[in-house]
Structure 1
Amino acid sequence: MSSCRVGLRLAACLLNISEARKMYIVENIAKAALLERNGQRHPEVSVLNIFSDPEYNRSVITIAASIDELGNSILAACLEAFQSIDMEVQEGIHPCLGAVDLIPIYPLSGVGLEECGAVARSLAENLVLSVPGCSVFLFGEADLPEKRPLVQRRKQLGWFTRRDFSALKPDLGAAPARRCGLTGIGASPYVMNCNVTIDSQDLALGKEIASAIRGANVNGLKGVQTMAFPHEGKIEIACNVESFEDQEDTETSEGSQYMAYSVLGDHFYYVSPHYIEAQVKKLASDRGIGTIGRALIGFTPQECKSCAEYAIKESIGEFWKIRGGVFM
């Protein structure tokens, strides 16, 4: 029977860890998120999805919970991750700075960005106290008073190219230990991960296409951050799709490039994954090549909310094991 309180206030974390080749480690981290300190499973926490890419050696674990419980749940998962992942020996083609590389918290239902930011800051403080050598940088709503976005913080820290942590200056914690590296913690409107593979091995061409759709480009897609990576013998255009509040030029209708959703009365928009795929396909076709499908890593904001509400209402902690038979 349902153990879900009426009006449960939900948030999600897409926990990015630098391990995808030892799945028992990844699953142990996911399962740690579900347990209270007494070892019993928490009824208001669910792991909705696990996405692992062995070539990138990176996994994204989607944790959804009551906002009152999410910080403790993420902390438990991080403690397991720091015990199991050693950045001194970690290898993979995806950029990363930490064993736990990124902890973004997103509001889903009944909770605002400010409260998510407070949970993120509290989590950061608890993490550096709990894990010797853990160091943290803050972004978004957790980074007060500046509220610098993740992309800006990553550029400042050399996330895209750096593997030497010794000279980094964290916001919390001592200089990063080589085993732990540096962890980003913050809160923002939902960010979706959408990747499109082009049928080419030409990385320069992939970077050209990625640049063309990047939101910073004058003709790019608003809120879309992109990189191109060699992946399984082809080139993958990896996109972080940010939600934004600005309503200018964001009419939403069937077939529109923008999708809309609301959280606690605030309206957000993001570029449709289908539109991103269509744009990459067109740009690739103009260069004489094709595409090989689109991968949505996890959920759209609406899907994440629906899955979270269902999983917690039904007290399904390991939702990632059954999601294909329920929602997809």
Structure 2
Amino acid sequence: MQLGMKMASPRIGVRLAACLLNISEGRKRDVVEKVAKAALCQDNGQEHPQITVLNVFSDYDYNRSVITIAAPVDKLADGVISACTEAFQSIDMAAHVGIHPCLGAVDLVPIYPLSNVGVQECGTVARNIAEHLSLCVPGCSIFLFGQADLPNRQSLVQRRKQLNWFNRRVLSAARVVADVGSAPTSRYGLTGVGASPYVMNCNVTVDTQDLGTAKKIARSIRGSSAGGLKGVQSMAFRHNGQIEIACNVESFDDPGNPLATYEGSEYVSYCILGKTYYYVSPQIIEASIKKLARDHGINTVGAALVGFTPEECMRCAAYALTKGVGEFWRIRDGVFM
């Protein structure tokens, strides 16, 4: 994906972070937009000048939306708390139906560094968001992950496994103890709040209805599998009459290996505060799935990046905030080719 107009880089010293807010609503456009607009609204009703919503992605079958909110790190929590509060008011988890696993009306609140900010500070922001939400929305229930989960710093994958993410009945189990807030309720469910290096979402559609084969392909590209792609987690879902292989693509640093291990390969690198991070490019993910699918006599029929790469997110945030564009998602098609 190439930028259609020149994007600003952050001014030296500008400290930017982002939240890829996941909510369990993708079918009611008015509800999703209310949540997105709430991120921009100050207490006085005016638009917050230092917060922007970069992207709003909704999926009908998943009944899920991802809203990308960006701001200076010390302002981000204001927008995220406002958006989450609106989502809790508007979404009843007890009535939710969708094919994507989820536990909460506000399902996931991940905080990512974009420029001049470390993941530890993002973890502090995430913990503050969790504490404020428990006060703003009595009855909400929160678990922490990544840099917000102290002292263990367990990853989102680890925490979801502990909570049996695929089984919503976990919410009524007495053994579920929230890290912050109340015990889970049927209306609000259970919300994950945390921080880590940037995570992209990249989805590839395969032209088959054979879910078993698609799951084998998804397993093959996971970073946890022999020969898989480092930092990639993947699942296969029936989607629009075909099957979509949905991938979370983590950024990672690897001090145990020399830079040459990743430079010049399928991994893309970027730097924040002198630390180099890597991630698998969406093109390599699509090509890998295409090859595996072809080995099973299946074609791929398209790929979609949900939102941005880390660099694109940083550049779009810098542009939107410099230009004072709060609802960047509405002009995004005019900015990108």
* Deviation of the 1:327 alpha carbon: 2.9
The AA in structure 2 aligned to 1:314 is: K
What is the aligned partner in structure 2 of residue 314 from structure 1? 323
- Secondary structure in 1 matching 2:186: coil
What is the aligned partner in structure 2 of residue 300 from structure 1? 309
Give the Cα separation in 1 of the matches to 2:281 and 2:12.
Answer: 31
The AA in structure 1 aligned to 2:302 is: G
What is the aligned partner in structure 2 of residue 191 from structure 1? 199
Residues 307 and 327 in structure 1, CA contact (< 8 A), matched pair in contact too: no
- Secondary structure in 2 matching 1:169: coil
Residues 262 and 278 in structure 2, CA contact (< 8 A), matched pair in contact too: no
Aligned: 1:86 with 2:92:
yes
The AA in structure 2 aligned to 1:320 is: W
What TM-score, normalized by structure 1, do the two folds share?
Answer: 0.96
Give the Cα separation in 2 of the matches to 1:169 and 1:295.
Answer: 36
Give the Cα separation in 1 of the matches to 2:107 and 2:52.
Answer: 21
In structure 1, stretches of 5+ residues that fail to align are: none
What is the aligned partner in structure 1 of residue 232 from structure 2? 224
Distance 1:207 1:102, change over 3 A: same
Distance 1:292 1:38, change over 3 A: same
What is the aligned partner in structure 2 of residue 252 from structure 1? 263
* Deviation of the 1:163 alpha carbon: 4.0
What is the aligned partner in structure 1 of residue 293 from structure 2? 284
Deviates more, 1:34-43 or 1:98-107: 34-43
RMSD, aligned α-carbons: 1.4
| Aligned partner of 1:169 among 157, 170, 177 | 177
1:133-152 aligned within 5 A: 133-152=139-158
* Deviation of the 1:39 alpha carbon: 1.2
Q: What fraction of aligned residue pairs are identical, expressed as a percent?
A: 65
1:1-328 aligned within 5 A: 7-167=13-173, 168-246=176-254, 248=257, 250-253=261-264, 256-328=265-337
- Secondary structure in 2 matching 1:77: helix
Give the Cα separation in 1 of the matches to 2:108 and 2:22.
Answer: 5
Deviates more, 1:33-42 or 1:60-69: 33-42
What TM-score, normalized by structure 2, do the two folds share?
Answer: 0.94
- Secondary structure in 2 matching 1:201: coil
Give the Cα separation in 2 of the matches to 1:252 and 1:5.
Answer: 27
Give the Cα separation in 2 of the matches to 1:70 and 1:268.
Answer: 22
Deviations 1:118-142, CA, capped at 9 Å, x for gaps? 0000110110111121000000000
Give the Cα separation in 1 of the matches to 2:37 and 2:12.
Answer: 26
In structure 2, stretches of 5+ residues that fail to align are: 1-7
The AA in structure 2 aligned to 1:15 is: L
- Secondary structure in 1 matching 2:246: strand
